[in-house]
Structure 1
Amino acid sequence: MARRWLMICPKRTDDRGNPLPPSESELNTIRNCPIRLEQIRLRLSDVSWWMRLMNQRVAQRANREDGSGGRFFEDRFKGIPVIDDESVLACAVYVDLNWIRACMAETLELSDHTSAQRRIEAITAETQAPASNPTSAPDDPSEAADRCVRPLADSFLAPVDLNEAIELPGPQPSPCDTRCSDKGFLPISAAEYLELLDWSARQSAAGKPGRTPDNLPPILIRLGLSPTVWLELVANFDDLFTTMAGLPENIDQRRGKQTGRRFHVQKRTRELFAQAA
């Protein structure tokens, strides 16, 4: 047990970071201490400790390869709470526009590996598919079973539309094995989301063809966001929201679980939402 632990958490490593076999003195520091031995026994049988040590090893190796330091997710990925519909929508658009922003695609249809592309493919397939039996009810089990047997391109994605007025609160398990839940995440339809996404892409991608529509998408009017405010939100989402994403007044009401302190809201974020008010 002592040897196994010291190979996982070595006292000494070679030039490549690989553990060196423990010496007898290193082994005896564990063997001769019953309290330490029992502690290590518990840790070796704890899945949480195993994950912790694995993450540490991955982080150390990645940092060596990248020439960086700190936690593995530092400056690589960022996960922050997204607490209201406005920020969920802005975050979704921000992610779906990655390919266009990086000049790797000109249209949503050509933006590979994005949920937008999958949703467009699914809508296209549904449009071209033969009409379903008009006498069957919308929630007919046979219709649902057919959708599971012949899944669409976006069948593994969460639905867009969330109608809280008619849908029951709580989880909505999916009858298909392609996804866990059939619960949506935005109070708009998939068509409205794609319309807004397409409009945002044409407006925010410099040098792309297209023009500003005469009438703004209805969702912008409902959210009370001007085109300028909206475009800056989806273009700089990562910079505008550093600890939590949401309306400033909603963030101000939250407190950290451990410290009880407020979350910081960027000055520019407050200015943008003040313009939209």
Structure 2
Amino acid sequence: MENRAMPRPQRCEQFDPAEVGIVHVVQRCVRRTFLAGLDHASGRDYSFRKDWIRRRMEALASVFAVDVLSYAIMSNHMHQILRNRPDVCAQWTDEDVAIRWLRVFPGRRMEEHLAEPTENDVQMLVRNKERLAEVRSRLSDISWFMRALAEPIARMANKQDECTGRFWEGRFKAQRIVDEAGLLACSMYVDLNPVRAAMSETPETSPHTSAYDRIEARKGERIPSAAFDLKPIPTEKAGREIRKTPVEALQQKRKAKRRNPTGKRIRRDEWLSPLTLRESDLSNEPQMHTKGFRSSDRGFLNIRWSDYKRLLDWTAAQAVVNQAGKLPERLAKTLSEIGIEASMWRDLVWDWQKYFGKTSCIGRPDSLKADAERTGRHHHRGQVQAAGCFG
């Protein structure tokens, strides 16, 4: 009998903008070349582009109804764990939706005039109810979040390299995460990507990761916020500025404002979703964020940061499989409580590609089976392979 590969799942099977879901996303540079790191062929170092990506991600977290749970930006690809939040988006006023959309997608007219969204622009979109409903749906859509992240980075890189063509390799890979065991393991895998790739030795020396941001934030580090300014400017003021200000001066003004649109400084991790679930997070309330840096204040793991950090450090140190140490009892208990076989934890994170590299879904076998049935499948690829890692 012919052995056919399972078809790639459709996006609608992995996440729905109208339903809260958590997805592991991987976006690779074209031909997996080092377009955001040190190019060994040419000797040119493009590592500064990692800052472009991180800043853009931080900015988008302030306008989209998408929580960034974890991330790692590597030299030729990036990982994110994203949670879409239609429940948060539903709480925004029509004016909130309009200004958020126009900040990210200002439209050709505003781009040509180098203007910012005005009160009149916002009201025009608000009055177009059909268009507004479409925009509201897109603001909680992970595909639109990734589009808004990837396209500007590609344009900037191509302009710098004086070339055209693709920067990213096709559409991003998405894996639905269906339980807490899968979420903890995937988050740890993402945070430890630079250590696994031998780019750094510890999470403390792994910039451009969510773990690094959380570690530095607890040391008191504050940075200029990349969040969008969510206040439209008065229409008359915008008109006067365009008429009286030279184009070059407008360009310089917008460039300066992009570095710190709101003029605020924030804790380095304040744009990320809080790591620890609180008791209030277990309610059906959306836990809306009100300071303008992220969509919600909801955590995502039933584990304290101190325990997550201990587990992160222990796992980072287990580079050689036959020299792996014994997991501390407290951490082993934490893993077993959520259904992970403690003795397999090192293998699960360090050999992630073996267990979940080709799957469309991440979690315990029973959770994968339930999700497969939800989408009319018998099972998910890799379901049996990962079974030994879970209790």
User: Is residue 270 from structure 1 mapped to residue 378 from structure 2 by the alignment?
Assistant: no
- Post-superposition CA distance 1:127-147 (Å, at most 9, x none): xxxxxxxxxxxxxxxxxxxxx
- Asked if structure 2 preserves the Cα contact closer than 8 Å seen for 1:108 and 1:116, the reply is yes
Equivalent residue for 1:154, pick from 266, 269, 292: 269
Instruction: Give the Å deviation of 1:84.
Output: 0.3
Larger Rg computed on CA atoms: 1
The aligned counterpart of 2:371 is: 254
Q: Is the 8 A contact 2:204 2:215 kept in 1?
A: yes
Aligned to 2:177, the other structure's residue is in SS state coil
- The 2-side partners of 1:213 and 1:80 are apart by 28
Query: Which amino acid letter does the alignment assign opposite residue 310 of structure 2?
Result: E
Looking at structure 1, the residues matched to 185 and 328 of structure 2 have their Cα atoms a distance apart, in angstroms, of: 22
1:69-94 C-alpha deviation (Å, 9 max, x unpaired): xx813xxx421110100000000000
What is the match of residue 130 of structure 1? none
Do 2:327 and 2:342's aligned partners in 1 also have CA atoms closer than 8 Å?
no
> What is the Cα deviation at residue 238 of structure 1?
3.6
Q: 1:200 to 1:150 in 2, by over 3 A?
A: same
> Would the alpha carbon gap of residues 96 and 167 (structure 1) be closer, same or farther in structure 2, given more than 3 Å must change?
same
**1:120 aligned residue:** 215
CA deviations on 1:6-59 (whole Å, 9 max, x unpaired) are xxxxxxxxxxxxxxxxxxxxxxxxxxxxxxxxxxxxxxxx999xx99xx9xx9x
Aligned equivalents of 1:154, 1:210: Cα separation in 2 = 31
Contact 2:200 2:206 in 1 (8 A): yes
**Residue in 1 that maps onto 2:200:** 105
Name 1:222's counterpart in structure 2.
Answer: 337
The amino acid across from 1:253 in the alignment is A
Distance 1:228 1:163, change over 3 A: same
Q: Deviations over 1:105-139 (max 9, x none)?
A: 1111110111111111112229xxxxxxxxxxxxx
Return the offset for 1:237. 2.7
Task: Name stretches of at least 5 consecutive residues in structure 2 with no aligned partner.
Answer: 1-133, 139-143, 155-163, 222-263
Structure showing greater relative contact order (alpha-carbon pairs closer than 8 Å, 6 or more residues apart): 2
Contact conserved, 1:243 with 1:263, CA < 8 A, in 2?
no
Among residues 52, 55, 72, which one is paired with 2:170 in the alignment? Answer: 72
1:193 aligns with one of 308, 316, 324: 308
User: Which letter maps to 1:160?
Assistant: L
Q: Look up the match of 2:289.
A: 174
Select the structure that is richer in strand.
2
Partner of 2:320: 206
Using the aligned pairs only, state the percent identity. 35
Give structure 1 stretches of 5+ with no counterpart. 1-45, 127-148
Change (3 A) 1:251 1:221: closer
**Equivalence for 1:236:** 351
Looking at structure 2, the residues matched to 213 and 231 of structure 1 have their Cα atoms a distance apart, in angstroms, of 9
Residue 197 of structure 2 aligns with an amino acid whose one-letter code is A
Amino acid at match of 2:179: D
Counterpart CA distance in 1 for 2:190 and 2:288 is 25
Mapped to 2, the partners of 1:213 and 1:270 lie a distance apart of: 20
In 2 relative to 1, CA 253–166 (structure 1 residues): closer, same or farther, beyond 3 Å? closer
Partner of 1:151, secondary structure, is: strand
In the alignment, the residues of structure 2 paired with residue 185 and residue 89 of structure 1 have an alpha-carbon distance, to the nearest angstrom, of: 9
**In 2, distance between residues paired with 1:261 and 1:206?**
37
Using the size of structure 1 for normalisation, the TM-score is 0.58
**1:141 corresponding residue in structure 2:** none
Where 1:80 maps in the other structure, the secondary structure is strand
When the two chains are superposed, the root-mean-square deviation of aligned CA atoms in Å is: 3.7
Count of matched residue pairs: 190
Q: How many Å separate the matches in 1 of 2:270 and 2:277?
A: 16
Instruction: Work out whether residues 229 and 272 of structure 1, in 8 Å CA contact, stay in contact via their aligned partners in 2.
Output: yes
Q: CA deviation at 1:228?
A: 3.4
